[in-house]
Structure 1
């Protein structure tokens, strides 16, 4: 028995799962590697909690979690490419399954000790079952990047505003008849009409459900259709993010972004009963728009794609970047006219520009003067560093 005051080691947990497989019939049918992979994920979550990185893991229902099964051993997958669009894989306890071939995999004559498939994961979402392969690949060290340096300001009007004017816009900022921002901007008109019809059906059918009564199959089917449309919109947004960040990583050597705390930016403005908030509906719409743009995911993609190509991602402190005039360098109250317009109120300046572009220029200016935000112990520490321009940069 493990001591009550001692943290359970992964070896002890593995022994427990082996005993459970011997005692419980349905666990013995499950592949041993899949059960061990779930156990390792759970153990890793507790290790992150003990180290103070995240909160302790809690129970998640199957509705709020993504169903997934690991296949840790890649040698049993036997991946074969049938033709250009399709491939075949051997899934344990299932057999040969066809999957859509979306990117190159080291199979056949291209597989060796350095480049091979080490495992896979089966994932089920609102659009069906998918398989993701883990690939071990030997990559050469990236050379020096010959691109320029650029500052980026993330926003809602312009998703990625660049300091050189090469703004990245997905062209999806549409408005409804009431003038509010469209929260389903990644769906076309037919899909929006279908989503509205399904949401009305779900609301109508939910009225007939008594408290504590099980939900009907029709309502479950309606919820599945709504989740499918939402997942399709999310996938289109992620596709735009990947293509855009790849193009930026190929073009620029140094990308400078703001050190943002998105959780604080999307905090509700309801307030309390004693002190109710103001403009709650407008703030809720802004929070929804920020969450849909997924700024943190965009920065994460930029970081690893720049590292693969020899580039660098730098973060600078965010306060003051939207109020400062990038032309004269002064911060004058009232210069930020609106969400999209900046007009410098300093006497003799009168610089007028897009507010996001002005902020992107200020972001790059902070990097050039050496003001860099360095993450330390869960908080951002601002340090002034000496910037050395690479000899190969243009």
Structure 2
């Protein structure tokens, strides 16, 4: 465990181990410590059997009660939405919505750059270096908190409005792997790849899909990401030259033009429809001899 983090898990939890003192203040009984006050942000659900007390890198303490929330009920409208995740636009839906994960403000970014310069000049092991590292951790924690809040709000909104949510089956860990290479075989464009990795992680790609699957179990479809950004959502032609810029897509076959992220999201939605149709299968009178389709994604 990192020296900057700490964790304490209670082996058991009783109803009397937590109590509310006021509207925003509560207390929890921590073994061998006693009663510890915390900010009461939401009601403690019934059926809690344990809790966890943690300290993050920014020096903040948190208490989390282990409980599985109920899934968000499906609206029952039969609507399907495709969600394309990107760097310039964190998430674009097939309905035309453009959603961006919040980050640090300009003033906060300027302060972070100053702190990083101070960190580079500080002597290792000094108190000054420890204080600068703590200030940087607080800024990073603020950015992470905003991203998590955005993920929770967007995932809940999508789960409440759509019956089926289609996303690309992206291997994010492989996509954000460092391009540094080794001493014998150094990587290429390492700085650009590092910037891309930071952009992917800052957009909250993995967190968004993970929370969607938690809130809408069985209603999230992962589709093959191949050619979703190159295919025209109107005529289906694949043309790698149709994307005129990061944000503009114009089909050279049928002339269809729209935002490139929205076009990809509509292709994802269409692919989800094919997956659902494949799950239902053909309606025939007699048995059909078919090879098993291992790559089909099942919904429901």
Taking structure 1 as the reference length, what is the TM-score of the superposition? 0.65
CA distance in 1, matches of 2:246, 2:202: 17
Pair 1:91–1:236, CA change in 2 (3 A): same
CA distance in 2, matches of 1:359, 1:270: 30
- Residues 280-299 of structure 1 aligned to structure 2 (within 5 Å): 280-299=190-209
Which has the larger Rg? 1
Partner of 1:168: 99
Pair 1:274–1:134, CA change in 2 (3 A): closer
Partner of 1:366: 271
Pair 1:342–1:240, CA change in 2 (3 A): same
1:260 paired with 2:199, answer: no
CA distance in 2, matches of 1:141, 1:157: 29
Aligned residues: 286
CA distance in 2, matches of 1:136, 1:303: 13
CA contact (8 A) 2:74 2:159 kept: no
By how many angstroms is 1:133 displaced?
1.1
CA contact (8 A) 1:321 1:359 kept: yes
Gaps of 5+ in 2: 280-292
Partner of 1:204: 121
Gaps of 5+ in 1: 1-59, 107-114, 173-185, 210-214, 375-379
CA distance in 2, matches of 1:142, 1:122: 31
CA contact (8 A) 1:342 1:354 kept: yes
Q: Choose between structure 1 and 2 for higher RCO, CA contacts under 8 A separated by at least 6 residues.
A: 2
CA distance in 1, matches of 2:128, 2:181: 38
- Residues 228-243 of structure 1 aligned to structure 2 (within 5 Å): 228-243=138-153
Pair 1:282–1:80, CA change in 2 (3 A): same
Q: Match of 1:90, SS?
A: strand
Q: Match of 2:7, SS?
A: strand
By how many angstroms is 1:286 displaced?
1.4
1:383 paired with 2:296, answer: yes
Q: Match of 1:382, SS?
A: coil
Partner of 2:76: 145
By how many angstroms is 1:264 displaced?
2.6
Partner of 1:81: 20
Partner of 1:352: 257
Pair 1:82–1:316, CA change in 2 (3 A): same
CA contact (8 A) 2:81 2:166 kept: yes
Q: Point out the more displaced range, 191-200 or 124-133.
A: 191-200
By how many angstroms is 1:258 displaced?
0.7
CA contact (8 A) 1:317 1:372 kept: no
CA contact (8 A) 1:249 1:306 kept: yes
Q: Match of 1:370, SS?
A: helix
By how many angstroms is 1:78 displaced?
2.2
CA contact (8 A) 2:75 2:162 kept: no
Q: Point out the more displaced range, 70-79 or 90-99.
A: 70-79
RMSD: 3.0
Which of these residues, 247, 254, 269, is aligned with residue 340 of structure 1?
247
Taking structure 2 as the reference length, what is the TM-score of the superposition? 0.84
